[in-house]
Amino acid sequence: MIINKLKKKAGWAALEYIQPGNVVGVGSGSTAAYFIDALSSVKNYIKGAVSSSEMSSCKLKNLDVPLLDLNEVDVLDIYIDGADEINSKKYMIKGKGAALTREKIIASAAKKFICIVDSSKIVSVLGGVPLPIEVIPMARTIVSKRIMDLGGIPKYRKNIITENGNILLDVYNLTIFNALSLEEEINNIPGVVTVGLFARRAADIAIISGHQGIKVIE
């Protein structure tokens, strides 16, 4: 319950970064959902929102925030999203909510990426939570073997098909000291669609909501 209050504060704190006329990328998950509530309070001043999941699209529609297709957008001013873990370099693990591929696409297109988290998500070394990987279904076993070669323990996330028609592996037992090279290595395994390591496109700003208030890391 307290965590939800912190998430809500982080979501609303991101509103400060939204400018009139902006195209706003919107992430997925419970913290992003609080940001959508905040965004709806300025819906008449922004150009619209690009959404990373059906869940976020549904909430945006219910709150009458104009939805835009990424293909129709020239400039994506800003992307706001949560994370499962974030370190001091603003590298993140994302994808617990299964929306990692669309999140990574929108993050890569955005001029600015603001990560909104409660303070429980801050880590010194990434890997305390499983690392999600979206995989083409026929490559599940071959990708799992390659992940085991890297020292990870992959677990198939049963009964989940992503919005892109793929499966997810959650990788345990990783202590991620070199996120940049691990992201590249996993991305290069045939059959991998997206790895939920966001280091090559890290956040530009982290808004961290803790018991002492909001802290911003630029």
**How near is the Cβ of 118 to ligand 5RP at its closest, in Å?**
8
* Closest CB to ligand 5RP among residues 131, 189: 131
103 is catalytic: yes
Beta-carbon count within 10 A of 88 CB: 10
* Closest CB to ligand 5RP among residues 77, 118: 118
For the chain, the straight-line distance linking the first and the last C-alpha, in angstroms and rounded, comes to 28
Of 85, 103, 134, 183, the catalytic one is 103
**How near is the Cβ of 192 to ligand 5RP at its closest, in Å?**
16
Q: Is 121 annotated to bind ligand?
A: yes
Residue 38's nearest CA partner among 7, 73, 76, 84 is 7
**How near is the Cβ of 21 to ligand 5RP at its closest, in Å?**
26
Residue 129's nearest CA partner among 176, 178, 167 is 176
Beta-carbon count within 10 A of 2 CB: 9
Q: Is 118 annotated to bind ligand?
A: no
Give the DSSP letter of residue 112: E
Q: Is 43 annotated to bind ligand?
A: no
Q: Is 139 annotated to bind ligand?
A: no
Q: In the complex, which residues of this chain contact ligand 5RP (CB under 6 A)?
A: 27-32, 81-84, 94-100, 103
* Closest CB to ligand 5RP among residues 4, 44: 4
CB proximity list for 126: less than 8 A, separation 6 or greater: 85, 87, 91, 92, 93, 174, 176, 179, 197
Q: Which residues are annotated as a binding site for substrate?
A: 28-31, 81-84, 94-97, 121
- The catalytic residues are 103
